């Protein structure tokens, strides 16, 4: 039976493997969740699937778990990146959390012409992705990349990766998601509160890997748009089919 508490750990997982806990994990498991020696916990590390483990040692500042049996194989998400322009803190956190839950393989914050944020807390956003994976039963955690200029990202764009460009300028037009036959590596691009500049729009539309999409007749907030776009893509090409 799967344990109720799930923890992401950096350590390798395998039969009989001892896994040390960080101070924060020990505080959570023994302080907040009131668990002790013998308690069962599910562990995953993004590489070795999910393992049922038991608490061998429990302390205030640390502890040790021991893997007993594998309960799930590693399940990789489809090869989908989510590119988005960071917005206000809570809404950016929401986008990262939802992207991890919904099955993004990589999350790439980009600075566009109208992006207000100059910097992001990459470590905090990565922690949100870990928490989302712990909570949703995932065995993989998407990497949150450092903030990069959109211009630079597009200059280095891998030729084989298609881009679902969510363009608020085309809201309401008959521009649906890609067809199931367009399988392969993909990315979704969501703009900031101020939308895309004319220069960005021209450049994106002209790129051969672009697939322009309308997310309906209303202008959605960026966080809503990210969830809507991922839903459409997952349904058309991803692992929801
Ligand atoms: N300020 C912009 C405007 O008034 O036109 C709205 C930007 S919207 C809040 C943020 C992002 O969500 C957009 O850049 C786009 O990527 C996406 N988005 C929102 N609604 C959309 C729609 N109906 N179709 C396509 N993309 C949309």
Report pLDDT digits (tens) over 3-18: 789 999 999 999 999 9
Q: Is the CB of 166 under 6 A from ligand 1?
A: yes
pLDDT along the chain (241 residues), means of 10: 85 98 96 97 98 97 97 97 96 98 98 94 97 96 98 97 98 96 96 98 97 98 98 96 84
Ligand 1, closest atom to CA 217? Answer: 23
List residues bridging with 212 in a β-sheet.
165
Domain 80-237 belongs to what topology?
Alpha/beta knot (3.40.1280)
- Can you read off the two tokens belonging to residue 144? 């949150």
Ligand 1 mean position to 216 CA, how many Å? 10
Q: Which CATH number fits domain 6-72: 2.40.240.20, 1.10.540.10, 3.40.309.10, 2.102.10.10?
A: 2.40.240.20
3 state SS of 31: helix
Q: How far is CA 99 from CA 2, 103, 128, in A?
A: 25, 6, 10
Nearest alpha carbon, ligand 1 atom 12? 222
**Is residue 155 within a helix (H) or strand (E), and if so which, with residue range?**
helix 150-155
3 state SS of 211: strand
Nearest alpha carbon, ligand 1 atom 13? 191
- Can you read off the two tokens belonging to residue 68? 């007993």
Q: Which of 225, 226, 228, 233 to mutate for ligand 1's pocket (most ligand atoms within 8 Å of CB)?
A: 225
Q: Per-domain residue ranges for the chain? A: 6-72, 80-237
pLDDT of amino acid 2:
61
- The alpha-helical segments, DSSP class H, found in 103-221 are 122-136, 150-155, 198-206
pLDDT of amino acid 168:
98
């Amino acid at each position: 039976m799967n344990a109720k508490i799930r923890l992401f750990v950096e350590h390798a997982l395998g039969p009989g493997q001892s896994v040390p806990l960080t101070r924060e994990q020990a505080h959570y498991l023994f302080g907040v969740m009131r668990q002790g020696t013998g308690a069962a916990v599910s562990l995953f590390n993004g590489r070795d699937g999910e393992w049922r483990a038991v608490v061998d040692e429990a302390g205030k500042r640390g502890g040790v778990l021991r893997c007993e049996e594998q309960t799930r194989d590693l399940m990789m998400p489809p090869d989908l990146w989510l590119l988005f322009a960071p917005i206000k803190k809570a809404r950016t956190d929401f986008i990262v959390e939802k992207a991890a839950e919904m099955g993004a393989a990589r999350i790439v914050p980009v600075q566009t012409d109208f992006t207000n944020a100059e910097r992001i807390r990459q470590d905090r956003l990565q922690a949100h992705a870990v928490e989302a994976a712990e909570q949703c039963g995932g065995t993989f955690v998407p990497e949150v990349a450092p903030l990069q200029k959109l211009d630079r990202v597009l200059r280095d764009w891998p030729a084989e990766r298609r881009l679902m460009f969510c363009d608020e300028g085309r809201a309401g037009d008959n521009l649906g998601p890609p067809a199931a036959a367009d399988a392969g590596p993909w990315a979704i691009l969501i703009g900031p509160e101020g939308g895309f500049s004319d220069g960005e729009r021209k450049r994106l539309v002209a790129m051969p890997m672009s697939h322009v999409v309308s997310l309906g007749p209303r202008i959605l907030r960026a966080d809503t748009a990210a969830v809507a776009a991922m839903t459409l893509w997952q349904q058309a090409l991803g692992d929801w089919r």
